[in-house]
Structure 1
Amino acid sequence: MTDPHMAPGDQAPQGTPGTGENVCPVCGGSGSVDGGACANCEGTGTIVEGIGGG
């Protein structure tokens, strides 16, 4: 079994319980930085991160 692909900014694979998509903090959701694809979200404009908790 292989791990699902994760972008560098992701905290967990997509679909992991307790996570959700959020706007990439590096590119602000545009998917690009300085005319190229954002390295943090790999050009998608979103990252997967933990939600809620307490």
Structure 2
Amino acid sequence: MPDEPLRPADEAAAGAPGTGENVCPRCNGAGHIDGGPCPECEGTGKITEGIGGA
């Protein structure tokens, strides 16, 4: 959703052109690390990143 705030690992806002959703590389999509929420994805297990390449 475009109105969601950016999480620390997000490269762009959700829905931005040239981006897509991926699993968080830090927690491998689990959403938590050591019994607490992952600081990179804030517990969602997902991040928004650029797709394609240049």
TM-score by length of 1: 0.89
Q: Which residue number corresponds to residue 33 of structure 1?
A: 33
The 5-angstrom pairing of residues 33-52 of structure 1 reads 33-52=33-52
Structure 2 unpaired stretches of 5+:
none
Q: Which residue number corresponds to residue 10 of structure 2?
A: 10
CA RMSD of aligned residues (A): 1.3
Q: CA deviation at 1:30?
A: 0.2
Q: Which residue number corresponds to residue 22 of structure 2?
A: 22
Structure 1 residue identity aligned to 2:9: G
Structure 1 unpaired stretches of 5+:
none
Q: CA deviation at 1:46?
A: 0.5
What's the % identity of the aligned pairs?
62
